[in-house]
Chains A and B, each alone.
Chain A
Amino acid sequence: MAIKAATPVIPANQVPKLNYLTNGYTLKSWLLTTDHKRIAILYLISVSAFFFLGGFFAMLIRLELLTPEGDLMQADTYNKVFTMHGIVMVFFFLIPVVPAILGNFVLPLMVGAKDLAFPRINLLSWYLYIAAGVLFLHCMLSGGVDTGWTFYTPYSTAASNTNVIEAGLAIFIAGFSSIFTGLNFIVTVHRMRAPGLTWSRLPLFIWSTYATSLVMILGTPVIAITMVLVVAERLLHLGIFDPNLGGDPVLFQHLFWFYSHPAVYIMILPSMGVISEIVPCFARKRVFGYKFVALSSVAIAVFGFLVWAHHLFVAGISLYAALIFSFLSFVVAVPSAIKVFNWTATLYKGSITYATPMLYAFGFIGLFTIGGLTGIMLATIGVDVHVTDTYFVIAHFHYVMVGGVLMGYLGGLHFWWPKITGRMYPEGWAKLSALFVFVGFNLTFFPQFILGYLGMPRRYWQYPPEFQVLNVLSTAGASILAVGYLLPMIYLLWSLRYGPLAGDNPWGAAGLEWKTASPPPTFNFDETPVVTWEAYNYDEIPEPKELEAPVAR
């Protein structure tokens, strides 16, 4: 299989002299910027740092689980490591990654606006994120926290003697970062669309980011106040969650999952939006069933709020409540299935090329399908009773979170990299790392489905020896996966200096963001674009000549 970098060559004189990157080189011009593109870069740097921190914790977990005995670290250390892996990855990586990096960069461009509606609030969001991150780093360095990222009471309020308060406050602050981002996106989409860009002409990434923003502003206050209650209970012994003080520990689980289940959709919806951009572009087709894909995002956001108690089937809720939440969990699967079917149907009679973003899109569709279908197994209560709190659940949500969100993010990052930096990444290396990610991911997490059904509980520091073989496979997969994640960091940085210049629209993609320079000027467009076409009008856009026909396999 020959892998050849598909790189258009653009003469240097086509590079815009003044763009958002060259508009000031001082630290102050970055740290006090209100340019959504620069803020996206700030997020890119800080969120990536947290990703590698969370990944480091993941490697420690996998190394400990290489042997059945707890031999690499103490039990308490292990409990802190998986807790911090979860908190870092969920609150500091998965939730902000696509909206705050890719959304921040391309959303105003896609709607033809000069910036987001509230540029200063956008900067404030980033500072809140950093404040939360610094507070959590302090929490980690001052001993860490060992409650699991789920903070279940009364363990977190009465039993744990670790730094729960700082961790809770960090999540509280990070929550406001996400609320402000969501607010900014909603107002921008409502008020700042270019003339002619009606709702039915919006790119699907806008639809999904819009739906995400609704969940952000409606759900996040609940986790914020829940964290405040945990902190208050720990400090003042209020008796909200602790049964010894007259509280109800299951109440915490309801409040926590009322946000944290919709939060799963905060993570996955933007990535679904990315896939809805990539697939039409590399199939040279308008997306199949635009209206259904767009509305399914809204349906997911709405139904996502009605399924939280499916995390509580064995927690002591009533039989009938469990039945209702089980049924609703099947309902929420329908709009997700609609998306997968439509992406697949978009390929039909297309003219398909296999650039790296498209490979990630294929990976997303496959892995999200497995993640979604195992979610359906978990919604089946009789099965959930057995596999909940086991590695089956771990595997399921990593298929959705890592196989889904991260695949979508990496696909989107490669897709918009020429727009963000003005340069192409090395296609061969990118394809190789996509392969590493796909193989490593499946080897890491597929064995965990089997482990879970065999009964290995989650959050175990030591385990019966019969589970070892599958754990060794999983750890081996994790090392391949790690290479797949480190490679892009190296070649993307390399491409900043040595990558071939991209030109305005290297993919021949539809969407307003490709109608301005790469990198875009500070205010995005020299004159406000007027939209007279439907989204994904690929019949009107010539295919980029430079892209080579794929080598048949």
Chain B
Amino acid sequence: MASQVDAVYIYLLLVSGAMTALIFIAVAVLSIKYRRQPGREAVQIEGSTILEVSWSIIPFFVMVTFFIWGAVIFFKERTPPADATEVYVVAKQWMWKVEHMEGQREINELHVPTGQDIKLIMTSQDVIHSFFIPAFRLKQDVLPGRYTTLWFKATKPGHYHLFCAEYCGTMHSGMGGDIVVMEPQDYALWAAGGASAPLQETGMELFAAFGCSTCHRSDAQGRGPNLQGLYNSRVPLEDGRTVTADDNYVRESILDPTAKIVKGYMPVMPTFQGIVSDDQLNALVAYVKSLSQPPTGTAGLQNEPVASPAQPQNVQVQ
């Protein structure tokens, strides 16, 4: 992606450079050639419609090429591949917390393997931040109260700057870190060490601990909708709309359950605003998501929620 941004940037530089040179040279040449000289008077010229039209239309069409090229790149930047590895990022004044699906947690660092599509699902605990990796030519604001995403595929191992690009208070300029890009085998070694439970497993435990599983049962008998296969499906709502159950939808349904009532259900779910932390929310969303994925061999997860309300005190909630 970086090379594509550079390519369009170089194109822009060349065209703008030529344009700037044209204006500078024209001003310099004309103002010297037509400097005041005795015996010569200025020639009054009304204007020229042909010139006016051409220097409006031609630059416009040149700019349309800028627009299209820039838009194509942006479209790619905003369309993550469906099979990208997901990583959760929580921003707060003034640090970045990273949670991998396999359970590793990092602060102000993000380890990723080369050659793999990585999709960051990001939210903020307080004010607006912005996740900026200059080397990848990528940036995305990180907002409180919702998820934004950013995806990339790193190609070259190394350490790259991570900056916060949206002003966020006292230590805004200290809210940086490293993107550590590793060869896949090195990454595997790194990932093997120090991992706690995978994110969706933590989510499954939380799902039971908060008592979600009492209503959201895996059969059709619960007071709440069955969440199996929910993620990314189209959900009909009580008010007639249909929405896609994406990350933001799941998040909102936990924090503000009455905002979008699923058709055929009562607005009986209490809000979890202020009860679940952003980290726990991410785990819950990851779990709900895992209910829609075919069980894979490596993950080896049981996609069945713990049916009985397990005793919360037995659950390690971080």
Contacts and interface: CB of A to CB of B under 8 A. Distances in A.
Contacts of A330: 60, 63-64, 66-67
A169 interface: no
B231 interface: no
Interface string A52-90: 000000000000000000100001100100000000000
B126 A154 contact: yes
Given A158-B127, A382-B4, A455 B132 contact: yes
A291 B56 CA distance: 14
A285 B27 contact: no
A290 B52 CA distance: 11
Contacts of B146: 243, 316
B52 to A, nearest CB: 5
Nearest to B273: A244
B45 to A, nearest CB: 6
A288 B43 CA distance: 11
Contacts of A289: 47-48, 51-52
Interface string A519-541: 00000000000000000001100
Interface string B65-94: 011011111110110000000000000010
Interface in B133-150: 134-135, 137-141, 143-146, 148
Contact of A285 (B12, B42, B128, B171): B42
Contacts of B75: 319
A290 B74 CA distance: 39
Given A389-B165, A552-B35, A383 B141 contact: no
B5 to A, nearest CB: 6
B9 A377 contact: yes
Contact of A322 (B41, B72, B74, B256): B74
A46 interface: no
A373 interface: yes
Interface string B89-106: 000010000000000000
A385 B138 contact: yes
Contacts of A380: 8, 12, 66-67, 69-70
A385 B130 contact: no
Contacts of A70: 173
Interface in A223-245: 243-244
B20 A373 contact: yes
Contacts of A345: 45, 51
Nearest to B94: A75
Interface stretch (A172-180, A199-207, A419-427, A456-464): A456-464
Nearest to A374: B16
Interface stretch (A335-343, A479-487, A499-507): A335-343
Interface in B29-55: 30-32, 34-38, 40-48, 51-52, 55
Contact of B166 (A152, A288, A319): A152
Contacts of B184: none
B229 interface: no
Please indicate which of the listed interface residues A319, A338, A455 has the most CB atoms of chain B within 10 Å of its own CB. A455
A428 interface: no
B295 interface: no
Contacts of A459: 167, 172-173
A356 interface: no
Contact of B71 (A146, A160, A340, A381): A381
A538 B69 contact: no
A121 interface: no
A96 B41 CA distance: 38
A536 B47 CA distance: 13
B149 to A, nearest CB: 10
B286 interface: no
Contacts of B16: 373-374, 376-377
Contacts, number: 272
B5 A382 contact: yes
Interface residues of A, number: 95
B127 A316 contact: no
A552 B33 CA distance: 10
Contacts of B143: 243, 249-250, 315-316
B256 to A, nearest CB: 8
A124 B42 CA distance: 45
B24 interface: yes
A462 B35 contact: no
B27 A352 contact: no
Interface in A254-301: 283-286, 288-292
Contacts of A386: 5, 9, 134, 137-139
A366 B144 contact: no
Given A383-B12, A385-B77, A385-B139, A155 B42 contact: no
Contacts of B55: 337-338, 341
A159 B73 CA distance: 35
A351 B37 contact: yes
B167 A155 contact: yes
Contacts of B47: 288-292, 342
Contacts of A313: 74
Given A373-B19, A455-B134, A348 B9 contact: no
Contacts of A543: 36
A257 to B, nearest CB: 14
A369 B45 contact: no
A154 B56 contact: no
A79 B45 contact: no
14 contacts: A155-B169, A249-B145, A316-B148, A334-B59, A340-B23, A345-B45, A348-B34, A352-B34, A365-B23, A374-B16, A382-B8, A455-B135, A538-B44, A547-B36
Closest 4 CB pairs between A and B? Answer: A455-B134, A243-B145, A382-B73, A380-B70
Interface of A: 70, 75-76, 79, 146-148, 150, 152, 154-155, 158-160, 243-244, 246, 249-250, 283-286, 288-292, 313-316, 319, 322-323, 326-327, 330-331, 333-334, 337-338, 340-342, 344-345, 347-354, 362, 365-366, 369-370, 373-374, 376-377, 379-386, 388-390, 453-455, 457-464, 538-539, 543, 547, 549-550, 552-553
Interface of B: 4-5, 8-9, 12, 16, 19-20, 23-24, 26-27, 30-32, 34-38, 40-48, 51-52, 55-56, 59-60, 63-64, 66-67, 69-75, 77-78, 93, 126-128, 130, 132, 134-135, 137-141, 143-146, 148, 161, 163-174, 256, 273
Given A159-B168, A369-B23, 6 more contacts: A337-B59, A351-B36, A382-B73, A455-B132, A538-B44, A549-B38
